[in-house]
A and B are shown apart, each in its own frame.
Chain A
Amino acid sequence: MVQQVMVQQVGAVISEDGAGRAKGRSSLMRSPQFSSFVILIVLLVVFAVADGNFLSPLNISNMMAFLPELGIIALGMTLLLTAGEFDLSVGAVFALAPVVVMLLVQNAGIDIGVALFAGLLLCIAIGAINGVIVTKIGISSFLVTLSMLLIVRGAALYITQGFPLKSWDQPGFFVTLLAGSFNIGAFRFYTSLWWFIGLSLLAVYVLHYAKLGNWISAIGSNRNAAVARGVPADAVKIWLFVLTSVLAGLAGMISAFRISAASPVAGTGYELEVIAMVVVGGTALTGGRGTILGTIVGALMLRAIRNGIVLVGVPGLAYNIFVGVIILAMLILHALLQKNAARS
């Protein structure tokens, strides 16, 4: 009965649609990812004007080599933050996964494919433990993943006795798959860029167009409301913790293959850098509002800042002052835009 009425009224609704869409467009201009995008462009122009080498093929190639490694983790972190949780153990997992894989290959003589699979299982296990403790025991993700950061980093240091593993110089299928490189004109790109692009598209789809994305946003926005509608909130969160861990491990492998070495201290501080990318892009730290496009912009922005301030000649020890100031400025801007949008 209700359905019939709905069908009859669809015709009448179409006239309103135009107005609805126009509204949608103006809200896009005010959306956080849009303002982040504008600021990214401004930053790129400033750096390009300040130093002619900023847009040189070599420098762009350099930036693009680093970008996917943090960017891939940021994609998982965006989904997790949107669901209202975060993960501080990603930097440690970034180190532990390749360390374990290379130990298995070099010391135990295990086939690289099998070793990679073992690394994958390890990441799944770490994510699942994070997720289960957070959701089933009800401890905040800050405390759980902070402890996990210490455990995982400690494990990486202990099993390597603190030394980087001897270099990995056997090219092969997996190395090409994760860290192969190719040239387009004067630019040199790594296959990791394809991974980043592919995973980004997938994440955009999942968060903004799939049923799962609706659930993720609802859980972060009002968990009880989502549960009352039959959304399996705990399961979704656990899988997002697993995903984030796996992506951190993948990024770690990509990095280790690219520089042909696995270090137990790799990725130190990445957790905060990744969270910065995500929130600078406009995803709310409190959950409910996430944007993958914003995260991509945020990842590009932090990469460009780190690269640009070196070229512009900021003294090395002062980098973080600039990075911090720019992040803070971005967040203030988002907060002001949010206030304005709420008022209008």
Chain B
Amino acid sequence: MMQEVLRLENLQKSFGSVRALKNASLTLKEGEVVALLGDNGAGKSTLIKAISGVFPIDRGDIYVRGKKVSIRSTREAMDLGIETIHQDTSLAPDLSIARNLFLGREPVNLKWLGVFAPLDLAKLRDAASALLKRVGISKKLDANALVSTLSGGERQSIAISRAMQFAAKVIILDEPTNNLGVEETHGVLRFVKEMRAAGHSVLLITHNIHHVFEVADRIIIMRRGEIVAEQTVADTDLLTVESLITGADLSALMKRA
């Protein structure tokens, strides 16, 4: 029943002499929330950037629903149903909220005009306002407001609403609760649960282990570019996960104390 949606096999990526990703493999199933954990610089962002087409991988295979694919651009990743919210924020500050929500997938009239097609401004504004209301992870925002006038948390909320809107198969969130207040953080976690309930798969990167235990089904831990452990949330505990992330045996330490 739980069908495989995304499978990565032996992904490798180097930046010059830095081997950011060495042989990373993982599987993501339908309706599953997988948390990707690891210390700063472990290679988490690099891994998800490779999946979302930000840069090409050096070696390795990517399968979407069992079919081997090559993702050469962000557009191709989006077309395969992979939506990503990057850690280094992904909005254009000089554009309005509405224009950001639909960036790259603008509703237009006269579609045959291609890139010269006129934007359907009414639809853009209305859909944006409706979406902001539905997400509810933020106070009322005017869809015409420029993103440069928003707080960091509000921007994050906008980026998340955008991923929701296209109802992608795989939603990747790179530290989505950074900069968020209490209310917005719960909004994000609620969103993750909602997405799972609707059958989407979520790959969640975070440094907050409490959040992981709240929403995730499975945990994958990375260290220095490699996947070092994989656990189901039901069969593990906070201490074990923390020690796996740092590489030190914390639980042994605790017992001794």
Contacts and interface: CB of A to CB of B under 8 A. Distances in A.
Contact of B118 (A209, A224, A230): A209
B183 interface: no
A6 B130 contact: yes
Given A1-B198, A23-B142, A24-B144, A221 B94 contact: yes
A132 interface: no
B250 interface: no
Interface stretch (B8-16, B35-43, B72-80, B238-246): B72-80
B104 A230 contact: yes
A212 B116 contact: yes
Contacts of B233: none
B108 interface: yes
Contacts of B164: 2
A6 B131 contact: yes
A43 interface: no
Interface string A215-248: 1011011101111111110000000000000000
A215 B115 contact: yes
Interface in B47-96: 52, 54, 73-75, 78, 84, 86, 88-95
B237 interface: no
B133 to A, nearest CB: 6
A9 B134 contact: yes
Given A20-B142, A23-B144, A229-B90, A210 B117 contact: yes
A206 interface: yes
Contacts, number: 129
Interface string A15-29: 011011001100000
B178 interface: no
Given A9-B129, A13-B126, A226 B93 contact: no
Contacts of A222: 90-93
B141 to A, nearest CB: 11
A225 B106 contact: no
B209 interface: no
**Chain A at the B interface: mostly helix, strand, loop or mixed?**
helix
A288 interface: yes
B143 to A, nearest CB: 7
Nearest to A9: B130
**Size bracket of the A interface:** 35 or more
B193 interface: no
Interface in A238-263: none
A2 B167 contact: yes
Interface string B136-153: 000000111000110000
A209 B119 contact: yes
Name the residue among A14, A16, A220, A229 with the largest chain B CB count within 10 angstroms.
A229
Contacts of A229: 74, 78, 90, 103-105
A21 to B, nearest CB: 8
Contacts of A221: 92-95
Nearest to A24: B144
A10 B106 contact: no
A289 interface: yes
Contacts of A220: 94
B92 A217 contact: yes
A197 to B, nearest CB: 19
A186 interface: no
Contact of A228 (B54, B117, B118, B121): B54
B176 to A, nearest CB: 15
Nearest to A213: B119
8 contacts: A1-B167, A13-B133, A14-B126, A211-B108, A214-B95, A215-B103, A215-B115, A284-B94
